[in-house]
Chain A
């Protein structure tokens, strides 16, 4: 009589496809996962405590480093929180510039996320290389306005640090031509690809109720069939001025998340088109001149959230009337979306684990903070 035994495998903290230092403690029966325990914390940098000894403005560049793929979105959420706390008005043009940057961020994030997910599936980097190519073009624009490609540090309380230069919009328009071509090509390469279908259909199903009970947000939640988008549910900034659709999945598997992300890129491009049309001239100014950057908000608390490319990114700030936040809390979408991983992976093969993880689209800088 042959006895079989379950095997424990550590995937991570050092592993090619854990997207950073993340550890999954797997119990496998053959190659089938019996139990998975995600272990976080290897990249803990004391972000929240650090923010409490910094002034409000000093925290802005640190938010870049939360989810280093989407520094603009992080800046936006933090700026919104401080503006809410201190009651700062934002000029019209600044709002448009902000949304412009954030939607560009969404495209670059999804281009990268899809590439990494397909990479985890074993494609030898071609979809990733295509995504990175488009991302580079967007990063060039970010560099043009903010001076940095990734750690933009572009937003300020009451606006943005400087107005967009004259050559920005023409370059942006050129990019708008390339974007749909890239998305069409990605679909031609992968959307009906039988190998991708075999690897993603029915894999990592996250049912609607389970997703909600875990508090999952972003493309993962929408992939599970719930049309919940903070841009629609609680329109912040000027999102109520744009027409765009919310793509949702019908099954809640990896393939749905893949499709939702592609569609979200298209919708972001739609928003960008409307921004270019509506962008007010520079006379309104790019920053509220009355807004002090060395802000001293009144005693109180504020929570501001945005639909970051990964989900609901929220900043909760408590002010004691001083120059530094008394309490600073980040609601990181990657972290919350990662919590149901154990449930999503149970019963699948080892090879599926990395794909499911890739479909959640995590950035460890945000998970561990």
Chain B
């Protein structure tokens, strides 16, 4: 069990004198020492082999149970993938997706080109939407392409996006025999905000407020149906017609339609209850801030509804859409009392323990909106 052929000394290439370094093998080391590793010899011939065999057989014996405790080192470690799946952490990033607002169908993207600029492999391409009448650029994207096949999943696009419009998806089962299908266009990239919220709730909770604030600002600059997700256009149109019909028939306010949303979204109910009738009555606030607050409160209600009862998510979204006025809708007379209407819900939140976070956010927004409205009145 040895290597007698190696007794000849191994010769090395001659090192030039200049390269010959005087080396101190054991220098003084701060906070530690240089330890020479111990070269052990087996105690008895063959014993170490049996010991090694014992380790392996021990693993075999223990492998009939699953290794689910990370402090252990024996047991079957395999996750049988299609049937079993490991939970994905929120931070997991695979491919970028675009978000649109569930309620209005508005895309969050404003085509600011930040992601296109940062993308290291340069797989993001977009064109800015233009107002068909004036030809001026609109803060919306008309076409957005990501080449998934060349994307390196670095997540920079999601990091730099100031509008929280592009996020990293958790879906990793993208393999296909159809290579061109990996060049994904806007319609394929768009996901509702509620989807992102379901995969990364805390991340979205952090981003939500500023994302919606910026979206509202941009929505006003988007004429007609520009900036609405293609898959939502029909729904939004239907919502329009329904609202128009209701106005023509002079029917009572829309709460009928929002009812499921209200029922489900107990948390945000006070906020919605006060704001929604105002919106659906048709006597929408001209005061921008108040109107924003109303819309946000409604979104909040819808989201709360989704969280409370996912099965009702679709009706809720529809209900909210029905109740909503799109930006190009004519604004009727002012609602001076907006601030009073939106302000009261804030104290009502404590008795909504189910969805504290959403409720608190709604309260904060309502308070801010009230303040702004008050300022506007003063002016």
Q: Which residues of A contact B (CB under 8 A)?
A: 32, 54-55, 57-62, 126, 130, 133-134, 136-137, 140, 143-148, 151, 153, 161-162, 165, 171, 174-175, 177-178, 181-182, 185, 188-195, 197-198, 201-203, 205, 207-210, 212-213, 225-228, 232-233, 235, 240, 242-251, 255-256, 259-260, 262-263, 293, 343, 346-349
Contact = CB atoms under 8 A, between A and B. Distances in A.
Nearest 4 A-B pairs (CB), nearest first? Answer: A227-B34, A61-B154, A147-B93, A147-B91
A194 B93 contact: no
A175 B73 contact: no
B168 interface: yes
Secondary structure of the B side of the interface? loop
A194 B45 contact: yes
24 contacts: A55-B118, A61-B154, A133-B67, A140-B86, A147-B93, A148-B153, A153-B154, A165-B90, A178-B70, A178-B71, A181-B72, A181-B73, A182-B73, A185-B55, A190-B52, A192-B43, A194-B49, A202-B6, A203-B3, A213-B15, A227-B27, A244-B32, A245-B33, A248-B34
Interface of B: 1-3, 5-6, 8, 10-13, 15, 19-21, 23, 25-27, 29-43, 45-46, 48-49, 51-52, 55-56, 67, 69-73, 77, 86, 88-93, 118, 120, 152-156, 159-160, 168
Contacts of B23: 208-209, 212, 226
A263 B34 CA distance: 11
Contact of A347 (B8, B15, B31): B8
Given A188-B52, A194-B42, A263-B35, A147 B8 contact: no
A266 B138 CA distance: 59
A61 B91 contact: no
A194 B73 contact: no
A207 B23 CA distance: 12
A29 to B, nearest CB: 11
A144 B48 contact: no
A136 B77 contact: yes
A248 B52 CA distance: 25
Given A61-B154, A210-B12, A193 B33 contact: no
A244 B31 contact: yes
B73 A185 contact: yes
Nearest to B202: A165
Contact of B156 (A61, A144, A194): A61
A233 B67 CA distance: 41
Contact of B10 (A60, A136, A147, A205): A205
Contacts of A146: 91
A271 to B, nearest CB: 10
Contact of B37 (A147, A161, A249): A249
Contacts of A193: 42, 48-49, 52
B86 to A, nearest CB: 8
A60 B153 CA distance: 12
A148 B154 CA distance: 9
A247 B294 CA distance: 67
Given A178-B72, A182-B73, A192-B41, A248 B36 contact: yes
A194 B48 contact: yes
